Amino acid sequence: MSDKSDQSIPSTDARQRQMLALWTKIECWAAELGFQEVGIAGVDPGLHEEHLNNWLAAGNHGEMHYMEKHGTRRSQPAELIPGTLRVISVRMDYLPPDTDPILVLGDPSKAYIARYTLGRDYHKLIRKRLAQLAARIEQESDGGQYRAFVDSAPVLERAFAEQAGLGWIGKNTMLINSKAGSWFFLGEIYTNIPLPIHEVPDDLHCGSCTACLEICPTNAFTGPFELDARRCISYLTIESRAPIPLELRPLMGNRIFGCDDCQLICPWNKFAQPTAETDFHPRHNLESQDLLTLFNWSEEEYLRHTEGSALRRIGHERWLRNVAIALGNAPYSIDIVSSLQRRLEHPAELVTEHVQWALDQQLGRRG
């Protein structure tokens, strides 16, 4: 005997049930692939697009011309991938265990490297996992369009992750999750499958806390939710190819690649969990390596020790630029002076200009 009740269900309702069932499976698959959370957003960026345009108009992106190059394709998914209806957002924890970031920041002989880049380059790992997730969805849904991204295309990732319910964009412009803090990577899958959109809680926020704004070493925040990248240490040490402004160098301390201060001070990060992904664990003792050791690396040694790491992206010259500033900020040391003097013979002006500055700082402290 046939079930006539099923035959009476409108096709739209049947499609909705199918999408809800698929969403349940996506949650399971994402967890199996090592993602801590997954959510689904629509393609309307809301006020985030206006905020992005205002930020660009103010010149706060500095040398990151790619931020404006793609126009509205960054905030309008269907312009980047025609037919896109949903953005599947995932997050993956990356905080390595036992790296003692506060102790390293407090030791001027050590190099501070942003915790996200101590291990393997996250782009490859997450992109591979997202591709596997997309393949499972495609197989289960019998078709559809899927494109995975991990910082590989113009995607307004934090905005869509917020709309997918993975957290909220805090005053430090990071995405903050009430159960996991902010030490995580994001990735996205654009699809034309009309999956159910995640409902976003409206009661999550930073409250009156301004700790992240006050702790920034270079005063890069012009106000809550407003970051001037041109003063941000992460931008200066990673994105910028130019000489670092003189007035900012003493403020950078021993931070040679990125900066985590606004995350280290964030109260929500008391809920952060160390990553279980061993690929994100530190390599070559980079969690607390001596500045002089890193400064004395030849280009060959730099390339060998940063193989498979995001540290590779700045190249040896900018690596030396950054480490030279940290050495200039360190207490006087004859060993530092000797190493700096040897680097004055470097062929790149970008290197020698910062080495000379650091040498002047060191000699000025000599008693």
Residues 72 and 97 in one domain: yes
- For the question of whether the overall pTM of this predicted structure is more than 0.75, the answer is yes
Asked if residue 3 is part of any domain, the answer here is: no
**Average pLDDT estimate for 267-291:** 95
pLDDT at 4: 36
Asked if residue 45 is part of any domain, the answer here is: yes
Residues 225 and 120 in one domain: yes
Asked if residue 308 is part of any domain, the answer here is: yes
What pLDDT, in 10s, does the model give residues 169-195? 999 999 999 999 999 999 999 999 999
pLDDT at 3: 41
pLDDT at 276: 92
4-13, 258-267, 293-302, 357-366: which range is least confident on average? 4-13
List of residues 6+ apart from 270 with CB closer than 8 A:
181
Residues 341 and 192 in one domain: no
Residue 154 scores a pLDDT above 60: yes
Do residues 164 and 41 lie in contact, with contact meaning Cβ atoms separated by under 8 Å?
yes
What pLDDT, in 10s, does the model give residues 300-334? 999 999 999 999 999 999 999 999 999 999 999 99
pLDDT at 198: 85
Range of the domain at 347: 290-367
Residues 247 and 337 in one domain: no
**Average pLDDT estimate for 139-161:** 91
Residues 245 and 303 in one domain: no
Closest C-alpha to 23, from 221, 245, 191: 191
Residue 164 scores a pLDDT above 90: yes
Among 261, 289, 317, give the residue marking a domain's end.
Answer: 289
Residues 123 and 235 in one domain: yes
**CA 310 – CA 257 distance, rounded (Å):** 10
Asked if residue 301 is part of any domain, the answer here is: yes
Q: What is the dihedral of CA 292, 110, 216, 361, to 10 degrees?
A: -40
102-106, 112-116, 127-131, 136-140: which range is least confident on average? 136-140
Length of the chain counted residue by residue: 367
> Higher-confidence residue: 92 or 199?
92
> Which amino acid makes up residue 38?
V
**Average pLDDT estimate for 196-200:** 87
Q: Where are the beta strands (DSSP E) in the chain?
A: 37-41, 86-93, 112-113, 146-149, 168-169, 175-176, 184-191, 221-223, 226-227, 255-257
Mean pLDDT, rounded, of the chain: 93
Place 13 in a pLDDT band, splitting at 50, 70 and 90. confident
Residues 39 and 153 in one domain: yes
- Would you give the DSSP letter of residue 110? B
> Which amino acid makes up residue 327?
L
**Average pLDDT estimate for 263-277:** 96
Q: At what angle do helices 349-365 and 315-329 cross, to 10 degrees?
A: 10
Asked if residue 252 is part of any domain, the answer here is: yes
Residues 278 and 345 in one domain: no
Residues 131 and 152 in one domain: yes
pLDDT at 11: 61
- Report how far apart, in Å, the C-alpha atoms of 186 and of each of 36, 167, 322 are: 10, 11, 27
- Report how far apart, in Å, the C-alpha atoms of 335 and of each of 222, 230, 236, 291, 360 are: 39, 32, 26, 11, 14
- Report how far apart, in Å, the C-alpha atoms of 345 and of each of 321, 325, 340, 348 are: 14, 17, 10, 9
Residues 51 and 181 in one domain: yes
pLDDT at 199: 81
Asked if residue 1 is part of any domain, the answer here is: no
Asked if residue 5 is part of any domain, the answer here is: no
Among 272, 289, 306, give the residue marking a domain's end.
Answer: 289
Q: Provide the domain count of the chain.
A: 2
What pLDDT, in 10s, does the model give residues 30-82? 999 999 999 999 999 999 999 999 999 999 999 999 888 888 999 999 999 99
Closest C-alpha to 355, from 251, 345, 136: 345
Residue 1 scores a pLDDT above 70: no
Among 236, 256, 289, give the residue marking a domain's end.
Answer: 289
Residues 55 and 45 in one domain: yes
Q: Where are the beta strands (DSSP E) in 10-80?
A: 37-41
Residues 249 and 144 in one domain: yes
Residue 8 scores a pLDDT above 70: no
> Higher-confidence residue: 293 or 18?
293
Asked if residue 299 is part of any domain, the answer here is: yes
* Burial (CB count within 10 angstroms: exposed 0-12, middle 13-18, buried 19+), residue 366: exposed
Quote the percentage of the chain above a pLDDT of 90: 87
83-87, 141-145, 169-173, 252-256: which range is least confident on average? 141-145
- The CATH number linked to 324 is 1.25.10
pLDDT at 108: 98
DSSP 199-217: PPPSS---TT--HHHHH-T
Active site members: 151
Closest C-alpha to 29, from 160, 123, 135: 135
* Burial (CB count within 10 angstroms: exposed 0-12, middle 13-18, buried 19+), residue 98: exposed
pLDDT at 152: 81
